[in-house]
Amino acid sequence: MAEKTMHAEERSAKLNEAREHMRAARTTLRETFADFFPPGFVEHRRAARREMLLAMRSLLDAAIERTSGK
């Protein structure tokens, strides 16, 4: 029983280490992209993403209204 617990703890520690590594890699990648593109690009990309999400929301709202018979 103790052996299974130890293996579970080792797996958990390795998973946590992998997650920390992935977070650090993601942060580094974002910083690299921020340095690579002009400053205005990131702002415009965020605004475009928001607009796309709003468009998707309106499509979903329309579909929900059609489904509910309103």
Q: Which of 3-7, 31-35, 37-41 has the lowest mean pLDDT?
A: 3-7
Burial 12-24 (b: 16+ CB within 10 A, else e): eeeeeeeeeeeee
pLDDT for the residue numbered 9: 82
* pLDDT value at 21 more than 70: yes
- Output 12 or 62, whichever has higher pLDDT: 62
Structure tokens at 33: 């992209």
For residues 34 and 42, the answer to whether their CB atoms sit within 8 Å is yes
pLDDT for the residue numbered 17: 93
pLDDT for the residue numbered 5: 67
